[in-house]
Homo-oligomer: A and B are copies of this chain.
Amino acid sequence: MELNQIYAPIQDDLSRVKDTLKSISRIDFAWLADQLSYVVRETGKGIRPALTLLSAKSYRYDLAYLLPMAVSVELMHTATLVHDDAIDKARTRRGQATINSVWGDEIAVLLGDYLFAKAGEFVADTQTPRVIKLFSQTLATISSGEIGQFRGAYNIDQKRQDYFRRVYGKTASLFSLSTQSGAVLAHAPEAAVAVMKEYGDNLGIAFQIVDDILDFTSTEEAMGKPVGSDLTQGTLTLPAMMLAERHPDANPVRKLFRTRDRRYVDEAIEMVLNSTIVPDCYQVAAEYARDACRNLKSIPDTESRQALMDLADFVVGQGTE
């Protein structure tokens, strides 16, 4: 199933989210307008705002609160990407030059701050202290997780538990904010909010595992950034971890992390592709996607509930077509 089919129940509202995102670049300062329109251009999947809207759709769906929330989660996501790219010295993202590569690291830091601020303005418009607090807690989780990732870079001795904690921090926490906030703002019963949290937590982990697989199996053209980026930056993801587990001695990831010689990246990718690691990782992702949907049957049987299930299938199907 294609994303636009899955998004059918909220397609019009998602367009309004995108229009609102574009509108933030209409500001007084010409210099900032250029950079803002560059970062909010329409290229992402919009999965986070879609989660907010879909999680609310079975309940009291009021765009006056849901639209600012959906805009807010996407802006927070964008802000973290802008900072991450500056930190990672990434040159391309979604097939385009990164902010830091076009305008420099300093502008990337400040533009990211501005985007966090705008995300904060939109979440304030929900007038709902509970989701505002959750929003800030999520940002704290994301940034402390990134610090953990940065400090753990080039460390081969990480455990699965470290990986999953990192993945929760960098991706699942924001998925979880997206779903929970939708349910809370639509006045869903607490039990349903918990189901949406569980969905967001698990879908986020599944999503990140697949993203980590694609860094080995995809092409630069399809991903919009170089393959092997994680290894090059010293980030130990699940496929690399499995490779290290299966070849405790003399594996290319260990050599790469010791020498930082880029040719070991190609060697590691080849070894991963010539093993069962890729299907094994998809298996782990599929388990998380299943866990995401486990309790969805307890919420009303609507087309948006079906969309959440289809979205879980979509996430773990990426790269397997």
Binding site for B on A (CB under 8 A): 27, 29, 31-32, 80, 83, 86-87, 105-107, 109-114, 116-121, 123-125, 127, 129, 132-133, 135-140, 142-144, 146-148, 150-151
Interface centre among A86, A127, A144, by most chain B C-beta atoms within 10 angstroms, is A144
Overall SS of chain A's interface? helix
Interface centre among A31, A110, A116, A151, by most chain B C-beta atoms within 10 angstroms, is A110
In the bound complex, residues from chain B placing their C-beta under 8 Å from that of A118 are 136, 140
> Is B83 in contact with A148, judged by CB distance below 8 angstroms?
no
> Is B83 in contact with A110, judged by CB distance below 8 angstroms?
yes
Beta-carbon nearest neighbor of A119 in chain B = B136
> Is A87 in contact with B106, judged by CB distance below 8 angstroms?
yes
Across the A-B interface, the 3 shortest Cβ-Cβ residue pairs: A120-B136, A117-B139, A117-B140
Rounded to whole angstroms, the CA-CA distance of A117 and B135 in the bound complex is 8
Knowing A86-B109, A121-B140, say if A116 contacts B116 (CB, 8 Å). Answer: yes
Looking at the complex, which one of B117, B123, B132 makes contact with A143 (CB distance below 8 Å)? B117
Rounded to whole angstroms, the CA-CA distance of A135 and B117 in the bound complex is 8
Copies assembled: 2
In the bound complex, residues from chain B placing their C-beta under 8 Å from that of A121 are 133, 136-137, 140
In the bound complex, residues from chain B placing their C-beta under 8 Å from that of A107 are 147, 150-151
> Is B31 in contact with A110, judged by CB distance below 8 angstroms?
no
Beta-carbon nearest neighbor of A150 in chain B = B106
Other 7 A-B pairs with CB < 8 A, given A120-B136, A129-B129: A29-B147, A83-B113, A107-B151, A112-B113, A113-B143, A114-B147, A117-B140
- A111 CB, nearest partner CB in chain B, Å: 7
Knowing A87-B106, A87-B109, A87-B110, say if A132 contacts B124 (CB, 8 Å). Answer: yes
Question: What are 20 sample pairs from A and B whose C-beta atoms fall under 8 A apart?
Answer: A27-B144, A31-B148, A31-B151, A80-B113, A86-B109, A87-B109, A106-B150, A107-B151, A114-B144, A116-B139, A117-B142, A117-B143, A119-B136, A120-B135, A121-B133, A121-B137, A124-B132, A124-B136, A125-B133, A132-B132
In the bound complex, residues from chain B placing their C-beta under 8 Å from that of A111 are 143, 147
- A303 CB, nearest partner CB in chain B, Å: 32
